[in-house]
Amino acid sequence: MSPVPLFATSLEEQHERLLEALARAVRGERFILGPEVHAFEEEFARYLGVRHCVGVANGTDALAIALRALGVRAGDEVVVPSFTFYATAEAVAAIGARPVFCDVDPETFCVTRATVEEALTPGTKAVVPVHLFGNVAPVPELRDLGVPVLEDAAQAAGASVGNAKAGALGDAATFSFFPSKNLPCMGDGGAVVTNDDEVAARARALRFHGSKDKATFVEVGYNSRLDELQAAALRVLLPELDAWNARRRAAARAYEREGLAQYAAPPRAVKGAEHVYHLYVVRHERPDELAAALAERGVGARGYYRTPVHRQPGMADFVNPVDLPGTEECARTNLALPMGTLLTREHVSEVVRALAPLP
């Protein structure tokens, strides 16, 4: 049996075209907010079906900038899930606002209208649903609550609901192009997207020190731009995204066909969502024993967010008003199995065979 890595991806097929694109950017010598960034912003906005894309330095800055562009200020409350990567809540705290953690549905790993509603107060100024692991949180139901919705779409580039892409569903959305994400770059990169002209203009100013004209500085902002070289790379990789996601979905279907459900609870898409399986995360009562047994058989597996964000030391200032039983269950039982654009049917049956003899 050959080993099966947890992340079965590579950019090898794109190396030549990436090098050409980088050479073009080097020869252009416009390294800050040059033509590659402008072109990528247009191409990504068109891909998502939104009016504006603002390229920033990473997905964490994207969240902070988008929250401020939506009008969130120091002291405001922002509802976020606790079962997510730390950055979702970190960005809220970084702008002086207060993260209020809401629960998730353990079947989908995403927030629901009911879990968000439970955490709302008159002080809530935004909600940040996370499209976790490539699923799509139920944004239309959240928009009915009357609070601005910022989608954290870092893990869900290319996911969709009907004809609408994740990232085009809320008042604004953020993306990360960290190398492990579904749409990667070759280092750090991120974006804020929105249909709102005002929000886009504020995000553009915030990424450049709070200035629109580089002469007058109207707020304390950030130095946070998408890098020109990364934008050149992203223009090569964006056209691959749909085919890559199709391969991830095919691998997910293969897991089900091979009978994974006999051994662990498979991931479930939110109703109507086209999941893009950033990670393929199952649930099991003894996930760490399972991971150890898989490791002996050469199969990569890993539990995510075992300590949910609300229990991280960095969040100790924020005593949470609601209980989070779904979050605790997800944190305790989840296990990511191998996934990626290069995961073959043979790999998948190998993983399921490795699960079979376990208790």
Could you list the residues that contact ligand PLP (CB under 6 A)?
58-60, 84-85, 87-88, 130, 152, 154-155, 176, 178, 188, 190
C-alpha span between 245 and 160 (Å, rounded) = 11
What burial class does residue 323 get, using C-beta atoms within 10 Å of its C-beta: 0-12 exposed, 13-18 middle, 19+ buried? Answer: exposed
Task: Identify which of residues 81 and 106 has a Cβ nearer to ligand PLP in the complex.
Answer: 81
CB of 225 to ligand PLP, least distance (A): 14
Residue nearest to ligand PLP (CB): 59
Q: Give residues with Cβ within 8 angstroms of 3, minimum separation 6.
A: 298, 299, 300
Tokens of 39: 């072109």
Task: Identify which of residues 82 and 84 has a Cβ nearer to ligand PLP in the complex.
Answer: 84
CB of 76 to ligand PLP, least distance (A): 20
Backbone angles phi, psi at 347, to 5 degrees: -55, -45
Task: Identify which of residues 11 and 94 has a Cβ nearer to ligand PLP in the complex.
Answer: 94
Are the C-beta atoms of residues 185 and 235 closer than 8 Å to each other? no
For tokens 């039982």, the residue is: 333
CB of 158 to ligand PLP, least distance (A): 15
Task: Identify which of residues 25 and 63 has a Cβ nearer to ligand PLP in the complex.
Answer: 63
What burial class does residue 263 get, using C-beta atoms within 10 Å of its C-beta: 0-12 exposed, 13-18 middle, 19+ buried? Answer: middle
CB of 102 to ligand PLP, least distance (A): 15
C-alpha span between 225 and 231 (Å, rounded) = 10
CB of 210 to ligand PLP, least distance (A): 20
Task: Identify which of residues 155 and 334 has a Cβ nearer to ligand PLP in the complex.
Answer: 155
